[in-house]
Amino acid sequence: MSAVYRVDLDAFARNLRRVREAVAPAAHMLVVKDDAYAHGLEAVVRRAWDEGVRWFGAFDVVTGAAVRAVAGPDARIFVWLIDGSDDLAAGVAADLDLGIGDEALLEDLAGLSAGRPARIHLKIDTGLHRNGIRPERWDAALSRTAELVDGGRAMFEGVWSHISEASDADDDDARALFLEARAAAREAGLVARFSHLAASAAGFARGEFREDLVRVGAFSYGIRPAGGPGEAELGIEPIACLAATVTTIDPRGVHLDVGSLHGLPSTLAGRFDVVTPEGPRRVEQIGATSCVLAPWNDAAVGDEIIVFGRGGFFSATDLAELIDTIGEEIALRVSPSIPRSYRS
């Protein structure tokens, strides 16, 4: 295997500064789910902490605990997939900020043997129906939460939701529900220290969605939205490239040992160019474990090729657009079997 997924941590740091400036005065919660969008959790969290990021969005408790191990005791680490009582207990033990989108978890919390109070952020379902407390159950959830707070079992840290960012009108409707839910919480004596509902797109484009925290994943890694504004307009840059060296040259062309099993969708064959020492060359075939490039004079085994991403002709989102998907999908497909390397 000659391929490597090369992550430029200085470029990442520039994106972090850009995100911070774009969402200010809200704070940036760096979303690091899916192994930091496949860039490698540990290196990403370590650099982000050094750059002043203090909130991390970790998805599940296991990932949250991994972030805790890297970022130390002062990081705030938000998780929103909590699978029952044991998982909840582990989240409390790791001092995570727990996104509660299911009333059953409030009962689980009541049943935990007393330890430190859990930091909780109640999630109102504002229309995505992924998880979240339905508006008609919100008051009941608030009463239960108030009991847990009074009993010293929970600290009420936030109200949150997740929006589709598919259309401004849908997002506006979601925000109206969100604001109502927050007002109801306040009336119930539960004052959210942190409100949050936006991710990359709304966090950049729509000031009224920023609230206290903006949960930004994609843009932090320089992944622009498919069909949306470009990197230059957003002020971000791709931070990673897939690089590989030429393994063989034969009459069919120049071969690399990356293929669909490593994350290069075979439907991209014939549709994009890579960087070679002689300039752009088309990827003509994509097999399971190798691909074939159009030849060039003096091609040599060991020549370095930038397949996509930073320094390449196509970004993850450029490739995604060719096959009607999103940049995250291309980034997340880069196989864990390809080693990550870090430059800074």
Ligand X SMILES: *Cc1c(COP(=O)(O)O)cnc(C)c1O
Q: Which residues are at the interface with ligand X (CB under 6 A)?
A: 31, 33, 57, 80, 162, 199-200, 215-218
Nearer to ligand X, 29 or 283 (CB): 29
Cβ atoms 330, 308 nearer than 8 A: yes
Nearer to ligand X, 201 or 246 (CB): 201
| Helix 138-150, helix 103-111: angle, nearest 10 | 20
Q: How far apart are CA 310 and CA 110, in angstroms?
A: 49
Which residue has its beta carbon closest to ligand X? 217
C-beta of 45: minimal distance to ligand X in Å? Answer: 15
For residue 14, what are its two tokens?
A: 């520039």
Rg (CA), the chain: 22
Nearer to ligand X, 203 or 253 (CB): 203
Q: How far apart are CA 297 and CA 147, in angstroms?
A: 75
C-beta of 57: minimal distance to ligand X in Å? Answer: 6
C-beta of 253: minimal distance to ligand X in Å? Answer: 36
C-beta of 300: minimal distance to ligand X in Å? Answer: 39
C-beta of 37: minimal distance to ligand X in Å? Answer: 7
Nearer to ligand X, 55 or 80 (CB): 80
C-beta of 137: minimal distance to ligand X in Å? Answer: 20
Q: How far apart are CA 70 and CA 279, in angstroms?
A: 40
Sequence-distant contacts of 137-143: CB under 8 A, at least 24 apart: 137/103, 138/181, 138/184, 139/184, 139/188, 140/103, 141/103, 141/106, 142/184, 142/185, 142/188, 142/190, 143/188
Nearer to ligand X, 68 or 196 (CB): 196
Nearer to ligand X, 99 or 312 (CB): 99
Cβ atoms 91, 64 nearer than 8 A: yes
C-beta of 120: minimal distance to ligand X in Å? Answer: 15
Nearer to ligand X, 59 or 272 (CB): 59
